[in-house]
Amino acid sequence: MPCVVRKFVDGRLQNHSEFLPDEWRLREQVEALEAWLADHGRRLDPSCRWIADIGFCVRDNAAGGGPLISHNLMRLCLDANLEIHLSEYPGTA
């Protein structure tokens, strides 16, 4: 499942960018989103509503923990008016 950045247009979601098409681990997706926003976030119109949908599966032998949602990532999201949606899928990564 890729991480998909979508824009609300006329009440509907419109795909804008996708990355990591074959990655199902949450940590890698969150880190990639932060890097993508650092490079591309200023190009997103902050007057629009944006969504980053991260699809993930549970890790084999997961016993807790997960990715850091850093201050930097939160700031980048706020600056771009972007929300993060986490979509858990059955199976393991």
pLDDT tens digits, 81-93: 999 999 998 876 6
**What is the per-residue pLDDT across 37-60, written as a single tens digit (0 to 9) for each?**
999 999 999 999 999 999 999 878
Domain ranges of the chain: 3-92
Distance CA 50, CA 15 (A): 10
How far apart CA 14 and CA 36 sit, in angstroms, is 18
Query: Tokens 């850093």 correspond to what residue?
Result: 70
